[in-house]
Structure 1
Amino acid sequence: MQHPAAPLATQAPADKPAGEARLDLATRAAELGFWEWNLLDNSFVYSPRAREICGLPQDDAPLRLEQLQALTHPEDMPRTHAMLLRAIDPDIRERLPYEYRVVHPDGEIRWVVANGEATFAAVDGVTRAVRYVGTLQDATESHQLRRALETTETRLHLAVEAGRMAVWEADLREDAIAGSPELNRLLGFPEDARPTVDQIRAGYAPGERERLQACMRDAVARGDRFVETEMRYRYPGGEPRWLLLRAEIQLDDGEPARAVGVLMDITDRRRAEEALRASEARLQLAQRVGHIGVWEWELPSGDARWSREMYLLFGLDPDAGITPEQAWLAGVFPEDRIAVDEAVRRSTEGGQPVDVEFRIRAHGETRWLRSKGTPVTTPDGRARMIGVNQDVTSTHRQKLALEDRNRALQEEAVQIGRERERLFELSRDMFGVVGFDGYLRAANPAWTRILGYDTHSLLARPFLELIDPQDRPAARSAMAGLKRGNVAAPFESRMPCDHGGWRWIAWTAVAEDELIYTVGRDVTHEKLAAHELEAANRQLRNQIEGRERVEATLRQMQRLEAVGQLTSGVAHDFNNLLTIVLGNLDLVDMTVDDPKVRRRLDLMRQAALRGATLTSQLLAFSRRQRLEPKVIDLNGTVQGMSELLRSTMGGSIAVSARLQPDLWSALVDPTQIELVILNLAINARDAMPTGGSLAIETANVTLAESQGLPGEPEPGDYVAIAVIDTGTGMSEEVLARVFEPFFTTKGAGKGSGLGLPQVFGFAQQSGGGMRIESRPGMGTTVCVYLPRAHAGSVADPPAPDTRRRDGASPQRRVALLVDDDNAVRDITAARLRQLGFEVLEAGSGGAALDLLDRNAQVDLLVADFAMPGMNGVEVAQQARTRRPELPVLFVTGYADQTALAGVSEERVVQKPFRDDELERKVRMVAGV
């Protein structure tokens, strides 16, 4: 933005009027700065406070436009500049405050709020802005407070979510429960549900309600108002959960009246406790099976207790009456006993665990035991050590065997090193070691034989300098990947020779310990031979591929250009015309009682609707239609169409449905999916001229990987619907072209060639895909994959309650309608008046905003999207700046579905209006 800050004067005169003095006092108290911009001579004036806010020197030096532009933060410049242009535009004259950042010369960033108003006058016969005057206020602290508040609210929400906690309140006398939305989630109900007390108690385990009531009575009897207990609960779907209930009981006349508290899901904790108990049981079993001895030693008395397994480890009979001290002195090697005693002494003094190994003599042989113990203190203050002993003789024997093996391997490694050294010296390939600093650390003699450089010259230069400059980027990228720990793919590079010329070297490399080990093979002769062979064939191959590419591209461009121009150029105007036709037909139909005339009106309406369907088919193929995806049950959709399908197929075709139970919900446009099923069924009927059978199947499908074929969906979960016929089938040539627009095998006038392309476009736009299997004479299976609706998907919103309360008088509601097409606007206004609105009509965005400024009550803005000048979205944005809570509804016949991509489905009505769509969405958006 060009900075809009400039004071009117640096100091008020001493004899200024009282009104101006009070104004100065108010502005100083509010810490406001004044600014003025003279647009005739492009001069600026700032007050001292404005200079202070902007970080400018406190002097009378003239200010330049470039100096002021440099103050605005670069990220805020486009937005503030656009608002400035609207403020000085004679046709707009916007007076909105705008908040942005200024950057002081010392780098400090401050948030400021500018309010300004432009003065307009005729200059050379043209009305233009001559002065732009306003105030400037430092808003840094308020901005920081807002950010801190938003952060605090976010953290609080995360804490509640992480703790899986819900707040509730119960009226014990009225037997009613109320809670936060988290209570529904905690009890297994939808967030927007309002479960009754009976529905909640249905999840109690048998006897749980009585136990909770007894807990409350006992607490009251003890004079305690707080209750905490764990309870079992079962979700409506059957999943068992454990909940922790904490409540405060409020008394009325000595009797419990209300209870307020929280509910927490402790299922994971209970499961962990149960797992711990099971783990302890398994540990005890493992000790018995694994012959692990457990011991306790009481300090300082020296009294010890051994488990039965301890005696067995020492080769003694547990029932022989031998004390642990006797067994210890008789079995442990004397030199090891001293080491164990010293380790135990250090452990008890330092309070640290002990881990020591020692030898014993048992069963006539030497055994190794490993002892682990931990010092503990009993509640009465006595010191003890508890631990386990385990026989690790086999481990020691394996260790000795491993040491012998390591010595043998070391000898083998020395021999291999000598062999590798000879290979390094004699190899015809270039062996090298490159440090992460880019310099060669070692190079074998093959470098000198191939490139001519001596070893000293090679080690004194970075490795990349030895590579031709054109090939250095690939080598540099490979080295960077090796430094990051990645595996480098083999690469080739040219290397100049010391004696002139160059050689092609094919490299492989690996990195280890900040060193890169490389092997380079001279492939110059192979490269030259391949280059000559490629040059010999390149011209012919290029001619053939070029001709095929040009022909294929031309055909594709012609098809896509035809469809693209048709959909983009015709859809908007055609939908507007159909809106006028259908709207007027509805209005005329209300005034006609003659059955013959009404029948002709119905014929006209059906023809107009077929035109709308044709437009929808064209948009479906080009993927420019606007879909309204909803969570639907495909089994219900198929069942609801059964009668229509049977009547469409005729008596010679048997229709059946094979619907999968527990079918996932699909997230698709309900109207379009019905057209898809009907379209595929009609194609199947045409492929069975002498009769046959048609089956419709549904299934849950999980694709693990993509097949890479045209129309195939990406990996994921899908709800599949398949149409299977026993008709003539398709050849491979026809199957390869089924998705091409206007391609058909039917006779002239019997098919448009848009059927399967329309289905394909709808499936891909919905996030799915298609698969077709067919053989001549064997029938055809067309499977459409539709996205699965996961948890959290939005289903059809409930229709707003439009019934008027008893005794309530109708409320006056005003709608502002803007559409540049007079006929369409007339029809839309008539529909809105039928819904009880008073309608303000405007033919452009500017006129609509002017009506909005001049009318205090506007309850709904209905805007056409495609209009000259300001489109509907821009009008809505301007209207929202004036009235942030104003509901907005868009009507559009525009072909490109991305035009309103940021607007929710319930706020868009597609032309032409069908059935009660306009009424439903007006009531939904306006809340009437």
Structure 2
Amino acid sequence: MQDRAEASSTDASADAPLGSEAHLELATRVAQLGIWDWNLRDNSFFYSPRAREICGLPQGDEPLRMEQLQARTHPEDLPRTHAMLLRALDPAIRERLPYEYRVVHEDGQVRWVVAHGEAMFATVDGAERAVRYIGTLQDVTERRRLGEALEASRTRLQLAIDAGRMAVWEADLRNDTLVGSPELNRLLGFPADAQPTREQIRAGNPPGERERVEACARAALARGERFIETEYRYIRPDGEPCWLLLRAELQLEDGEPVRAVGVLMDVTGCRRAEEALRSSEARLKLAQRIGNIGVWEWELPSGDASWSREMYELFGLDPEAGITPEQAWLAQVYPEDRVAVDEAVLRSTQSGQPVDIEFRIRVDGQTRWIRSRGTPATDPDGTRRMIGVNQDVTSTHHQRATLEARNRDLQEAAVRIGRERERVFELSRDLFAVAGFDGYLKTINPAWTCILGYDEANWLTRPLLEFVHPEDRAGARAVLDCLERGDAAPPFECRLRCDHGGWRWIAWTAVAEGESIYVVGRDVTHEKIAAQELEAANRQLRNQIEGRERVEATLRQMQRLEAVGQLTSGVAHDFNNLLTIVLGNLDLIEMAVDDPQVRRRLDLMRKAALRGATLTSQLLAFSRRQRLETKVVDLNGTVQGMSELLKSTMGGSIDVTTRLQPDLWSALVDPTQIELVILNLAINARDAMPVGGGLTIETSNAALADEPRQPGEPVPGDYVAITVIDTGSGMTEEVRAHAFEPFFTTKAVGKGSGLGLAQVLGFAQQSGGGVGIESRSGEGTTIRVYLPRAYSVAVGGISAPETREHVEPLPQRRYALLVDDDNAVRDVTAARLRQLGFEVLEAGSGGAALDLLERTAQVDLLVADFAMPGMNGVEVAQQARTRRPGLPVLFVTGYADQTALAGIGDERVVQKPFRDDELERKVRAVIGR
């Protein structure tokens, strides 16, 4: 102390004596404090006897060294204490905070001390610095141990609360507020971060429950108790009902409850167990007390255990009987189960994982099952322990045993069903298989081999798509991709190849699960064939319906044409009669006149009459009442013979091209009429190309197999076709639909009669063929005329036109009976016959002709008009031949009914008007026979 008094005079207060040593010693002894003084000038340390005792330093007055003090400081605390020392000695900081640290005595004992210190500063060498550091030491080891014990107790309590899933709460009854642990929100059904109000909580109380709990509290207070315990029903916000166990302690002021603290547990499961086992009074009582839950704690490795009261009751023991947990454990638990529980707890403490195990106990001669759940924990001093809860699960165990028995029964049934399914798998006619996403089959049933023929090795070693029909592989691949994506695959069908080379239709259903695809296929080949046959029948029916519609359309067209034909036939007949008169008289006048001017005018009149005859020929062709002289014709020769005529007719602006098939069949057709048809079509094409273009005439063989789709087209058969193609303006759909109608034309007035295509159609159909047309507006027109094929070699084309020669009379005088209802026609015909040398007997009707035949001895020729009122020419001829067999007959007609003249040869029919010397030639031919 004297050394301290003699310190430098630079700071008198720093060197002042500490006071009376007796007084100081008394103070330190009372406060259990040790005093230390560190002189920083000479780096000497003074520690009072109590301070030396606290730090485990030797007693005495000798100064201490820094190394001694550091050696006594716990190594883990040394960096922290050194840092705090520096802060206390820093003039800028001058920290005076107390700090705790550990000291280690020489015998290894560890003590906790708390140090309070303050530095004294002085100016040394012009700078302020710490010159002394004085303070006290206090041993707080016992206080630390008490705190740690309290914390461990709190930890154990929390573990027990967590293991029992209990919520801790505190209610201020005066202010009507409630606070609780996080478990409270879970029990009440609120979100973890919610702060429900008392009104929200009360809303979950069913009617009468809150009043019953309050009555329970008032009854406890009336008995002088502050602890209440009851169970009540509660409805969570999501509507789920539950049972809660309430334990609470009431705090009173002036006899009134002002505060309540307690725990809340969900005992719904226990309540349900109660309701299921109402017959067991013991279990009901146990369930009413915290759901048959007991709390236990087991310290390792000492083996010391502590049980709650409920644990004793759970084991059927009196908690006040003085029985230790070890005695109860050994007495009640089955020996073979104790070993399993001990091993499970040991493994849990070593691994740090919770333990959950069941064991048996014997209570009143009965075996009960206890479920024990525990959590390992380690105290701050390193002591290991296990804390947990036990619960009576006898009923649950019995239920589980019953369930296991039922599961065994179900497993046996499943095995039996599995065997039955295996039989179905083996015997089914459907294809069952398990496949992978790689397209390979993993398992198949025998139906694959039975239906498709390959052995099992073929199916399992080759991709399934290899057996799928090429046209169906894309669809099968799409189904595999759909299943691999995890989507549901629709039912699908595909064809699989059989080992004999055929194909079978299979209808599939497939689902994917995990890495496998489960497929079921059914052979629907017969159904497919039946469907195809049905489709073919439907198609045939549709074709028949379409054919019928086409026939009906054709019939309607034919009826219209027939009506027009009847009109035009009559007009043509009368017109031919008039032309016969005109041309006949022109021939007679021409023979009597030599004046060139007159003969020129007569020639003009003849040409006009012949044009009228051509028009009537067109009318007859349209009405199909003209008389056709069919022959075997080479159409290639016909087209070649007309090439010059066509080029001159088309003019220089239209390029005419022919494409003739070398091996063309012969056609059975009237040579003269086919030439007119070709010329007519060429002229129509020219009119469609006013600024020029191209005209192509083709010949081809046509073997038609399909029924006609448009009116005018031919029926199936072999035909020789002449096709006229132009690059003209073409036709619209509307125009093309009316193209073959008589008198229909798109030309200007006076530019066309509208009979051209109608004549072509009439000629083709009368010949036994038909006409097809293809045209689009702006793309030209193609007209194809189908003519019947002749099955003999063609003998030539159209014969060269005959030149009119002078008529020589017959060598001997003959008598001709002429019958015609038209006087003028009869007069012209009689004149032509007289030029041949006939004596002509004229009659205006069939009856008159037959009368003349009866009265006249010699008649060498009967010339009869076909169309007459009353009795036609054929009937007159038939009557005349009954009277005079072998009488030559020649028919003159403006049109010919094919039915009536079916048996009359062309050599005995003369068309009106008479052209060139046709009448004379056929008269000579008939007389010659």
TM tier, smaller: 0.3 to 0.5
Normalising by structure 2, what TM-score? 0.38
Normalising by structure 1, what TM-score? 0.38
**Structure with bigger gyration radius:** 2
